[in-house]
Amino acid sequence: MAERIPINAFDMSCIMHQSPGLWARPEDQSVRYKDLRYWTELAQLLERGKFDSLFIADVLGVYDTYQGSADASIRRAMQIPVHDPVVPVSAMAAVTEKLGFGITVSATYEQPYALARRFGTLDHLTDGRIAWNIVTSYLDGAARNLGMDRQMSHDDRYDLAAEVVDVCYQLWEGSWEEDAVVEDREAQIYADPEKVHGIDHQGRFFSVPGISMVEPSPQRTPVIWQAGTSPAGRAFAARNAEAVFTVAPTTATLRTYVEDIRRTLEGSQAHWVQLHGYPTPSFVEAVKSIAIAANAPSAYPRKPLPKDIVPPLTEPLIMRQSMERVVLHARQEFDSDAGGRQ
Ligand SMILES: Cc1cc2nc3c(=O)[nH]c(=O)nc-3n(C[C@H](O)[C@H](O)[C@H](O)COP(=O)(O)O)c2cc1C
């Protein structure tokens, strides 16, 4: 089977993801994140550049542990302010034809019934170009602002996510039969209620008796991506994900991770998996590589980093994972006879 390497762009609907200071450079356009044209122009640029997809990260809380407040985060625009990443997707879809959209939505704070409708709607409006990057969140502040005293435990969040996706799968795949929509104008019958079924879900976290609110969409189930590297995260990925989003400090660490998740996948139903990996030796290196990518058409030869780009490292605000805006990800395709999605 022919191998190809898809190219995925990374962004977040805010001023800076994990590249402190870059937003202030004159050529940087991140402050335009609140302008819809930023997103439509970006989508068109990526499509013109033959990118396969745009990935948008998200958080639902504020980094507020440094000196016991969110002041430093606010001052430096560290993922705050941040918009809902779902909103610009249909506008981007309207100005492109092929670009896919991988949108991060936490499974921890959503009702699956509403979530299934949102992604079903997006699947229609993008004509089947939507992917859901499932995360389980990590900020206590998110929990406190969303009706809880504190976060659920790490593994409970994965148990919850498992039920959230289970409900979504039932709604996407099991509720409306393929020929339920008849659209018979003469008889004035849009859909046949005999072919629309409630899912009767009764679980540990949710009770969802009803039918899906969305008629069958091009993909029904969006492409599922996952980000989270613990054993629980890997098991969740093996069960559900077609693409795994990861980060590693060295190539060797990344290789071990990739091999491990592929071993885990052997026993799963997953048909194929994409692993996004980009070794970043340290936070400073990551910042440098972003700067280099921004400064030069090619990453080589390396240019010295302008001093004003390096953030003061004394600020323990620094987030542990480091990311570049654009990453290559390798895709491994498994034998189509192995089952699962194409
Ligand atoms: C590469 C990577 C990217 C992530 N991106 C996000 C994100 O955009 N939003 C979010 O809330 N969590 C994100 N997470 C956090 C995970 O969803 C998860 O909550 C966290 O990593 C803890 O799970 P784990 O122990 O399985 O890694 C990301 C994790 C990784 C490894």
User: Does residue 135 have its Cβ closer than 6 Å to ligand 1?
Assistant: yes
| Tokens, residue 12 | 């977040």
DSSP classification of residue 196: B
Q: Which atom of ligand 1 is nearest to the CA of 226?
A: 17
Longest CA pairwise span in the chain (Å): 72
Q: What residues form DSSP beta bridges with 7?
A: 328
Residue closest by Cα to atom 4 of ligand 1: 227
**Domains in the chain: boundaries:** 7-334
- In degrees and rounded to multiples of 5, residue 193 shows phi and psi of -60, -20
Per-residue pLDDT of the chain (342 residues; tens, 9 = 90+): 677 777 888 899 999 887 777 888 888 899 999 999 999 999 999 999 999 999 999 999 888 887 788 888 898 898 999 999 999 999 999 999 999 999 999 999 999 999 999 999 999 999 999 999 999 988 888 888 888 888 899 999 999 999 999 999 999 999 999 999 999 999 999 999 999 999 999 999 999 999 999 999 999 999 998 888 888 988 898 888 888 887 777 777 777 877 777 777 666 545 455 555 544 444 344 433 333 333 334 433 444 445 554 444 433 333 332 222 222 222 222 223 233 332
Residue closest by Cα to atom 22 of ligand 1: 228
What's the predicted TM-score (pTM) here? 0.82
Q: How far is the CA of 137 from the centre of ligand 1 (A)?
A: 6
Task: Ligand 1 pocket test: pick from 134, 138, 160 the residue with the most ligand atoms within 8 Å of its Cβ.
Answer: 138
Q: Which CATH homologous superfamily contains domain 7-334?
A: Luciferase-like domain (3.20.20.30)
Closest CA to 317 of 81, 62, 63: 63
User: Does residue 18 have its Cβ closer than 6 Å to ligand 1?
Assistant: no
Counting every residue written for the chain, the total comes to: 342
User: Does residue 106 have its Cβ closer than 6 Å to ligand 1?
Assistant: yes
